[in-house]
Amino acid sequence: MGILIVDDSPDQQTLLRTILKQAGHPDLLSAESAKMAFSMLDIDGETTPAQIDLILMDVLMPELDGVEACRQIKRRPHLCDIPIIMVTANNDRSNLQAAFAAGANDYITKPVHSLELLARASSALALKKEMDCRKAREEELRRSNDELQKALRDVKVLRGLIPICASCKKIRNDGGFWQQLEEYIGEHSEAEFSHGICQPCVKKLYPGVYQD
């Protein structure tokens, strides 16, 4: 699972990358500003970036701070499920209330302690994995429901008004072409046919064979 580190300090980026990589998190991305992070997240698009499952966001950054960046990310439907952990200095914890109001999921303080970082990152990634599973189940249910509705619509075709020739008994399909009765029914249901000859037809076709 991928982690995006957003911090304007190269030293802080290196520290976080080292801790996470040594703990078995190889898929790490870095951005030195909120705008760079927005580009990597495709913030104005509609597709969730598959390689990013967690964001570590520094609170104090030039141009656009971490709280506002968090708010803008959480406003996007395709990004709102990505957990965001704010990284803040001990003397800047007053911004945490605003960060949580903006949609942040958790926070860690500087100087970063490896055990705290890994524990909070593990919890956030577990949350993201569960949310992805839930969304996958919902999507599967939606597809199943669509298939069921389509099947029901197909069944209703046979219950409606079916144009049939009074002479040859062919059926006019939705495209305006005439089909054999069994062909039409076969396309609109799971029915199968076994052909035989009824007694009236035997008498008509083979008058010398059938005896009353």
pLDDT tens-place string over residues 1-44: 799 999 999 999 999 999 999 999 999 999 999 999 999 998 98
Predicted local confidence at residue 144, as pLDDT? 87
Check whether 156 has a pLDDT greater than 60. Answer: no
- Structure confidence at residue 151 as a pLDDT band (50, 70, 90): confident
Give, in order, the Cα–Cα distances in Å from 15 to each of 63, 77, 113, 114, 138: 23, 31, 10, 9, 38
- Fold annotation for 3-138: Rossmann fold (3.40.50)
Least confident piece of the model among 42-46, 121-125, 131-135, 139-143: 42-46
Token digits of residue 94: 């007053």
| Ranges of each domain in the chain | 3-138, 160-205
Predicted local confidence at residue 202, as pLDDT? 78
Predicted local confidence at residue 158, as pLDDT? 63
Q: What is the C-alpha separation between 53 and 47, in angstroms, rounded?
A: 13
Q: Quick check: 200 and 206 in contact, CB under 8 A?
A: no
Predicted local confidence at residue 146, as pLDDT? 85
Q: Percent of the chain having pLDDT more than 70? A: 91
The C-alpha torsion from 61 through 65 and 71 to 76, rounded to 10°, is -60
Q: What is the C-alpha separation between 132 and 48, in angstroms, rounded?
A: 11
* Single-letter amino acid code for the residue at 160: G
* Average pLDDT along the chain: 87
Q: Helices marked H in the chain — which ranges? A: 10-22, 34-41, 66-75, 96-101, 114-157, 181-188, 199-205
3-state secondary structure of 31: strand
pLDDT tens-place string over residues 57-91: 999 898 899 999 999 999 998 899 999 999 988 66
